[in-house]
Amino acid sequence: MRPLDGITVVSLEHAIAAPFATRQLADLGARVIKIERPGVGDFARAYDTRVNGLASHFVWTNRSKESLTLDLKNPHALAILQKLLQEADVLVQNLAPGAAARLGLSRDDLKADNPALIVCNISGYGEDGPDKDRKAYDLLIQAEAGFLSVTGTQETPCKAGISIADIAAGMYAYTNILAALIQRGKTGQGASIDISMLEAMAEWMGFPMYYAYDGANPPARKGGSHATIYPYGPFMAGDGKVMMLGLQNEREWDVFCKTVLKDTSLATDPRFASNALRAENKDVLRNIILSAFAELNAEQVVERLNTAGIANARMNDIADLWSHPQLSARERWGEVASGAGPIPTLLPPGRSDAFSPRLGPVPELGEHSRTILAELGVDAQAIAALEKQGAI
């Protein structure tokens, strides 16, 4: 038995934020019915063809779901959705601002027929305020939330290499829905949840915001290095290979000097007597570290770091991640079916001894339309008529 077995989620979703949230609900056993446009579907289906002809984003965020195609501009299709929602537990949507409300899909519109329904709305800026009608995409929210101002090099701000604003919003949608389900178990009542991508990213910007508290200078962009802790970042060995290392306290600095740099005098050098001083004198310290590492290859540097108990990491690329020995040793790989054949997939983070996560197929567009409509009592003749109209 999985935690969300018996829970039905209906989702008007596209791109990343809402699909990422609902996929995690599906991992826990929820039945997720994904509403898509007939003939087109979630536009993320067409982002690329990297996974045996399927889109990488879509494969990642849509396993274990059922695809029902509905043209919500058609009153017959909208009536089907409303009937579906009468028995659903959760509605998730990340349509354009105001679109769900115009369709009569707000919590206020739906609670008369289903007072236990949880409605989660995901948008760029939230349901009110001066920016409520602004369109929002991941990169735009990264910029709006100040993320680009602290990411990149001194010369050039950089976006995250992943859809971090979408992921943040999806995670808060997921956790808020779980909280609402727990609360509903106590009160019997549903809830309306308003998730803002900007607010999700603003929360994740908590450290730089407080670092720049009351008009103080914000953390500088430092590329792969930490903005305020030193040494913490990439360093090159004599063989040209780069490894990451990080020191967090004075005990680690002392052992780093003695065991890794082999220079005990540095441990008491007044220029490096605290993290603040090491950061202030980082250019001098960086040259000292690189000079010591120049006589060693990367393997020898890592051996010294491990002996000293200094945290370090390889500078892996994506191929290295696919073959990471730790993921294999912990048996974190599974497989899902799809219209393009079986696809490897990582198990969701958080290994539990209470249940196994659901790893269902990635749905084809409209794959489950007939089955779901039949469950709602729509007969074969009516289904054929809806197909002819283009309603499904």
- Could you report the per-residue pLDDT of 302-314, keeping only the tens digit for each? 999 999 999 999 8
Task: Tell me the pTM.
Answer: 0.92
Give per-residue pLDDT as tens, 79-94. Answer: 999 999 999 999 999 9
Distance, in Å, from the CA atom of 386 to the CA atom of 70, rounded to the nearest integer, reads 9
Residues sharing a CB contact under 8 Å with residue 65, sequence separation 6 or more, in sequence order: 11, 22, 23, 26, 32, 33, 34, 360, 362, 363
- Choosing from 14, 57, 76, 226, the catalytic residue is 226
Residue 226 among the catalytic residues: yes
Residue 222: the pLDDT is: 86
* CB neighbour list of residue 105: distance below 8 Å, 6 or more residues apart: 12, 81, 85, 91, 93, 119
Q: Which residues of the chain have pLDDT under 50?
A: none
| 232-315: CATH class | alpha beta
Hey, which CATH number is domain 8-204+330-389, 3.40.50.10540, 3.40.718.10, 2.60.120.10, 2.40.37.10? 3.40.50.10540
Count helices and strands (H / E) in the chain.
17, 11
Report pLDDT for 226.
87
Residue where the block lists tokens 């605290």: 274
pLDDT for 227 equals 84
Domain ranges in the chain are 8-204+330-389, 232-315
Residue range 212-242, pLDDT digits in tens: 999 999 998 988 888 889 999 999 999 999 9
